[in-house]
Structure 1
Amino acid sequence: MKKSKLLIGLFTASVLVTSIGVTTYKDEIVKANQLVEQSMSKEEIHTLMLNSIDNYKTVKGTFEYKSKAGNFDYEINYKVKTQGNPASKIKITSKDNNNDVHESLFVEGKLTEVTHKNKSFEETGVITGRFDKEKYKTPRDRYGKQNGEALFIRRQDPSFMNMAAASLFPQNVGLGYLENYNNWEITGNGNFLNLDVVIIEGKLNEYYQEKHQAENFKLWVHRDSGILLKLEEYSQDGTVVDFINTKKIKLNESLSDVDLNINIPKEYKKNKF
């Protein structure tokens, strides 16, 4: 990463006395250098989002996910393990209908999905495909063409984290929103739930404008992992029409067998294929 150099001018005094206390020039320079250290290039933050699952071992928490165009309003609770033996437990609750609750559990190659509204569940054996992540590490390797049409090359989610991927593995946002570097800017750094974030603002392309009924977007991305902690999409008049908002999150804490388990009531029926 290229870093700017801060030049010290003809400052001979070592201390600046203000009305509220004493501030040294050295302190000011340290603060300025910290801001420089925090800066990231567009390609670096883009790469981070496309490969977030490589950057944490476990994560658990909750986020809200609402879309006017998609006509949904969900709260998503998640516990995810990305490395070693990947696993996940996801609970998706519709905030429009408290009876609509969907849970999924992926552990040891078996995917269990429970629909509480229908009092039913499914169990499926899953064989994860091999994906050479190093081959598709950089953004330029994640775009292609098939039969003359533009193609996004997506990495497989090894933990089968369901809708939690919208925040925890935001490659779809990274691929779709950040493809054209002229359409967005890194507008700052910040803190969100005690995590350092990079703030991105930009304009959606015509496809997403029509699909999402929005024109502009703003992202808060965890600078160490690439997790999308917050997203807002705005209509022409500035109204928020889509959003992701993380309510709580814990990274790299241990997950036990109890954490990765679903208790299915005896009366629930198993769907057969």
Structure 2
Amino acid sequence: MKKGNKILIGGIALGVLMTGFMSNYHISPLDDVKASSSHEMTSSQQSVKVFTNSDSDKTQLLNMMINSTDYFKNASGSFRYYSKNAETDMDIDFVVDIENSKSYEKNTFRNLKTKSIVEPFEESIFNGEYYSVYRSQDYLATQLSLEELATSSGSSQFHYQKISTPDSQNQGIVADNTIEDRIATTDAQDSYVRKTETSLMGITKTVLLPEDFAIGFIGTDLSGWNIVSNEKYLDRDCVIVEPVLNAYYKGKHNAVSARFIIDSATGILLESHLIDSDGNDTFLTKINSLSLNQSLQTNVFDKHNHFIKENE
């Protein structure tokens, strides 16, 4: 009997990912996705630029952030994702193969752990053909009532969907792929054309392709933010940026200031902080380990294959 032919839209990874990938139209910032890629892949080990606070360097940094996946072939590592507003605190392990459009992500929920709930996690995989999600019993126990859990018979634990990824060669590719190219104005309202991300990397996209931060939190008003220094983080050259939050983000995240650490060679978001008036983080991402362009444990992309075969 076929069970899992659709994905349960309820976990955080799915909510961020699926609707954006399947659509293909102009949208406001932080909503959706469309193809626009023309940069050649470059090595993350190249000579790294030292960024100044000039408008030209700010623009170059923004363009790198919205095209970060052009600067590496694969990535693996871990990071923390915390949002006070969303009541979410997760440790995320990831393996992403940009070149072959595959991804693995495991989200372990810190804020759901109790004495009896020790392993609440959600694991998502795109193997190039199927996008699948597996949820631990401990995670389900935090989401379902005892009666629902008893009668679910495992049907809520695994879901999958066959995905046809777009052929980037057949997409309307923007010639220069700058942040100006990505912004269109219709009826006096700006909209943003997102980059197609064919590896479907879920929450991991927050840090590996931080275009939402570039267009949203930082922005194209170059007078509204500063590059304050060039430093080292995880033994990588990075840029420290301090934007001035607009009223929308201040209200949404109860924050008064922000600080971002951005990789100088790729535009990857190494660390982000939205900070309240008491100096506490209300939103945080922090990469703890990062490996680029190294040999990958490719067996993780096949981890759910037996579940898929059982339900076909």
Percent sequence identity over aligned pairs: 24
Q: Which has the higher strand share?
A: 1
Corresponding residue number in structure 2 for 1:127: 165
**Secondary structure at the residue paired with 1:144?**
strand
Q: Relative to structure 1, is the Cα distance of residues 187 and 234 closer, same or farther in structure 2, using a 3 angstrom cutoff?
A: same
User: Deviations along 1:242-264, whole A, 9 cap, x unmatched?
Assistant: 11111111111022431322247
How do residues 40-79 of structure 1 correspond to structure 2 at under 5 angstroms? 40=52, 41-79=57-95
Per-residue deviation at 1:228? 0.2
Q: Relative to structure 1, is the Cα distance of residues 221 and 113 closer, same or farther in structure 2, using a 3 angstrom cutoff?
A: same
Q: Relative to structure 1, is the Cα distance of residues 256 and 63 closer, same or farther in structure 2, using a 3 angstrom cutoff?
A: closer
User: Deviations along 1:156-181, whole A, 9 cap, x unmatched?
Assistant: 21210000001111111111022221
CA distance in structure 2 between the aligned counterparts of 1:109 and 1:265, rounded to whole angstroms: 14
- Which letter maps to 1:127? T
- Which letter maps to 2:190? A
User: Deviations along 1:88-108, whole A, 9 cap, x unmatched?
Assistant: 111111111244311111122
Q: TM-score, normalised by structure 1?
A: 0.78
Pairing 1:108–2:128 present: yes
Corresponding residue number in structure 2 for 1:8: none
Q: Does structure 2 retain, via aligned residues, the 8 Å contact 1:129–1:156?
A: no
Q: Relative to structure 1, is the Cα distance of residues 55 and 134 closer, same or farther in structure 2, using a 3 angstrom cutoff?
A: farther
User: Deviations along 1:95-151, whole A, 9 cap, x unmatched?
Assistant: 112443111111223212222234222232233264445436111112223444321
Q: Does structure 1 retain, via aligned residues, the 8 Å contact 2:49–2:265?
A: no
Aligned residue pairs: how many?
235
CA distance in structure 1 between the aligned counterparts of 2:260 and 2:68, rounded to whole angstroms: 15
**Secondary structure at the residue paired with 1:260?**
helix
CA distance in structure 2 between the aligned counterparts of 1:37 and 1:73, rounded to whole angstroms: 34
**Secondary structure at the residue paired with 1:49?**
helix
Name the structure, 1 or 2, with higher relative contact order (CA <8 Å, separation 6+). Answer: 2
Pairing 1:89–2:104 present: yes
More displaced, 231-240 or 85-94? Answer: 231-240
Corresponding residue number in structure 2 for 1:39: 51
CA distance in structure 1 between the aligned counterparts of 2:62 and 2:70, rounded to whole angstroms: 14
Q: Does structure 2 retain, via aligned residues, the 8 Å contact 1:103–1:115?
A: yes
Corresponding residue number in structure 2 for 1:137: 177
More displaced, 193-202 or 255-264? Answer: 255-264
Pairing 1:174–2:214 present: yes
Aligned-residue Cα RMSD (Å) equals 2.5
How do residues 19-38 of structure 1 correspond to structure 2 at under 5 angstroms? 38=50
5+ residue gaps, structure 2, are 1-47, 113-117, 141-155
- Which letter maps to 2:83? S
How do residues 137-216 of structure 1 correspond to structure 2 at under 5 angstroms? 137-179=177-219, 180-216=221-257
Pairing 1:218–2:263 present: no
Q: Relative to structure 1, is the Cα distance of residues 263 and 106 closer, same or farther in structure 2, using a 3 angstrom cutoff?
A: closer
Q: TM-score, normalised by structure 2?
A: 0.69
Per-residue deviation at 1:47? 0.6
Pairing 1:229–2:270 present: yes
CA distance in structure 2 between the aligned counterparts of 1:37 and 1:223, rounded to whole angstroms: 7
- Which letter maps to 2:125? L
Per-residue deviation at 1:37? 5.3
Per-residue deviation at 1:57? 0.5
- Which letter maps to 2:50? Q
